[in-house]
C-alpha cells in the first residue's frame, strides 16, 4: 500500500464496511489542485455530450485516458485495498449527473445485478463515489439500505422510464431504513456492488454530479465473451484469475 493523502482505514472502518456494505469517507480524497483538474475534465466531458444525463457519460476513461491518473491513483487505491485486498482491477467509471430540478430518480437497484454473467463472482467489488458537486438530500444524494449486500440478487419490477434513470427497480423496499450519503465536493463514499441503493430525483436548483470509480478483486475473472469491447486495467497487485487486462503483457 502506497502513501497518499488518506490515512489507512482502521480495522473498525473495515469491520463496519463488511457488516453494513458501505463506508463514508468524509475527508478530501484528492489535493485541491488534483480535484480541480478532475472537475475540469468532467465539465469538458459533459459539454461534449451536450450536457445530457447519465448514460452518455458512462466509461468516460475509455475515450479520455487522462482519467486514469485518478482511477489508478494511490489516493483511491489506498481506500479500496483494505476492503477488497491487494490485487485490484479497475472495472469501470461513470460520471453521474443530476441536473437542477429535472434530474430523474435513480430507482432502488444493486450494481451487480446489471453485471450478472460478466464476472465469475460478485464479492469484493466496490464503488468509490466521489462528489464533484455538493451532494445532499435536496439534490438527490445516494442512499443505501444497510446490510443488504449479503442478500443475493433481488426481485425487480418495471417502473416509469419518464421519471427514472432505469426501467426497473427492486420490489418492496422499506425506505425508512435508508441511510443518505450527504457529501461535500471531494468527499467520497464506498459501497459494495451488491448493496441495495438508489437516489431520489433532484428537486433543487443545484446540480448534483459524482464520479463513480469501480474496482474488483482480481480473484474474480472478467469473462471476455460477455464483455465485448470492454476494457479493464490492472490497478494494483497481480492478476489472479486470468482476466484480459489491457495493461498486462
Convert the pLDDT of each residue in 204-230 to its tens digit: 999 999 999 999 999 999 999 999 999
Tens of pLDDT, residues 52-88: 655 558 899 999 999 999 999 999 999 999 999 999 9
- Give the pLDDT of residue 118: 97
- Chain-centroid distance of CA 58 in Å reads 11
Under the banding of pLDDT at 50, 70 and 90, the label for residue 161 is confident
Q: Residues near 153 by Cβ (< 8 Å), separated by ≥ 6?
A: 110, 112, 113, 116
Read off the pLDDT band of 232 (50, 70, 90).
Answer: very high
Q: What is the pLDDT of residue 179?
A: 97
Q: What domains are there in the chain, each with its CATH number?
A: 24-236 (2.60.120.620)
pLDDT band at 231 (very low <50, low <70, confident <90, very high): very high
Share of the chain above pLDDT 90, in %: 74
The average pLDDT across 41-58 equals 77
Look at residue 2 and tell me whether its pLDDT is greater than 80.
Answer: no
Average pLDDT (97-122) is 89
pLDDT at 14: 96
Q: Write the DSSP assignment of the chain as a string of letters.
A: ----SSPPPPHHHHHHHHHHSEEEE-S-SS-HHHHHHHHHHHHHHHHHTTS--GGGGBSGGGT-GGGHHHHT-HHHHHHHHHHH-S-EEEEEEEEEEE-TTTBPBEEEE-GGGGGTTTBS--SSEEEEEEESS-B-TTTT-EEE-TTGGGS-SPPEEE--TTTBSSSEEESS--GGG-EE--B-TT-EEEEETTS-EEE--B-SSS-EEEEEEEEEETTSPB-GGGSTT---EEEES--SS----TT--
* Average pLDDT of the residues in 151-163: 85
What average pLDDT does the segment 20-35 reach?
A: 97
What pLDDT shows up at residue 56? Answer: 59
pLDDT at residue 54, rounded to an integer: 54
More confident site: 190 or 63? 190
Q: What is the mean pLDDT of the chain?
A: 91
Measured between alpha carbons, how far is residue 207 from residues 93, 104, 136, 162, 194 in Å?
A: 19, 12, 10, 19, 27
Amino acid at each position: 500500500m502506497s502513501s497518499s493523502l488518506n490515512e489507512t482505514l482502521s480495522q473498525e472502518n473495515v469491520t463496519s464496511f463488511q457488516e453494513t456494505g458501505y463506508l463514508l469517507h468524509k475527508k478530501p480524497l484528492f489535493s485541491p489542485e488534483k480535484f480541480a483538474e478532475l472537475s475540469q475534465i468532467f465539465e469538458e466531458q459533459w459539454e461534449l455530450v451536450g450536457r445530457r444525463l447519465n448514460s452518455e457519460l458512462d466509461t468516460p476513461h475509455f475515450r479520455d485516458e487522462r482519467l486514469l491518473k485518478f482511477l489508478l491513483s494511490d489516493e483511491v487505491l489506498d481506500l479500496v485495498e483494505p476492503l477488497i485486498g491487494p490485487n485490484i482491477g479497475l472495472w469501470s467509471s461513470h460520471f453521474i449527473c443530476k441536473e437542477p430540478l429535472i434530474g430523474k430518480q435513480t430507482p432502488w437497484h444493486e450494481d451487480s445485478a446489471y453485471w450478472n454473467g460478466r464476472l465469475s463472482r460478485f464479492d469484493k467489488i466496490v464503488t468509490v463515489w466521489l462528489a464533484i458537486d455538493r451532494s445532499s438530500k435536496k439534490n438527490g444524494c445516494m442512499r443505501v439500505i444497510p446490510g443488504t449486500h449479503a442478500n443475493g440478487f433481488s426481485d425487480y419490477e418495471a417502473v416509469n422510464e419518464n421519471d427514472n434513470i432505469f426501467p426497473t427497480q427492486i420490489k418492496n423496499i422499506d425506505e425508512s431504513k435508508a441511510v443518505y450519503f450527504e457529501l461535500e465536493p471531494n468527499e467520497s463514499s464506498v459501497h459494495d456492488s451488491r448493496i441495495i441503493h438508489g437516489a431520489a430525483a433532484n428537486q433543487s436548483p443545484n446540480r448534483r454530479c459524482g464520479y463513480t470509480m469501480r474496482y474488483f478483486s482480481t480473484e474474480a475473472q472478467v469473462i471476455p465473451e460477455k464483455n465485448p469491447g470492454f476494457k479493464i486495467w490492472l490497478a494494483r497487485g497481480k492478476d489472479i484469475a486470468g482476466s484480459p487486462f489491457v495493461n498486462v503483457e
